[in-house]
Homo-oligomer: A and B are copies of this chain.
Amino acid sequence: MARASATAEDTLSSELIRAAGVKVTRGRVRVLDALRAARQPLSHAEMEALPAGAGDAAIDRVTLYRVLDSLVACGLALKAVDTRGVFRFSAAGAQRQHAKHVHFRCTGCGGVFCLKAEPPPPPRLPRGFRLQQVEFDLRGLCAGCGALAS
């Protein structure tokens, strides 16, 4: 049974990287794969701890920073700071789906949790203002961090 059409999700990371006009390296493919598979933005430390896939050597710490920067530079990844001040990266395009629900950002561990609720309708804007994005973020302690703090 053939698929009707190839969606963005089906595209191989290596092809995305090639199309972006930069060299296709093992590091970039592995990192972009990880970002695209992740359900939340990942920090550098979390990616460094990734299972080193089938006999592959772990990626060097500095190289990982540079790989992430290169993915951001060519538009394949997004970089944002979490509540602890640590940078987190996500695959570009993951934003579309996350625009449809609310997020909880843990001030303890920096984690981002996708909630079921959808963002409330925006209030009326002053004349001439153009709305591009609605961000409804809740901040606090996640269950894990709250248990530690109590």
* A residues lining the B interface (CB < 8 Å): 81-87, 102, 104, 107, 113, 115-117, 120, 122-144, 146-147
Contacts and interface: CB of A to CB of B under 8 A. Distances in A.
B81 A83 contact: yes
Contacts of A122: 138
A135 B122 CA distance: 13
B128 A147 contact: yes
A129 B116 CA distance: 14
5 closest Cβ contacts across the A-B interface?
Answer: A128-B143, A117-B123, A120-B120, A132-B140, A85-B85
A145 to B, nearest CB: 9
B143 A126 contact: yes
Contact of A137 (B116, B124, B126, B137): B137
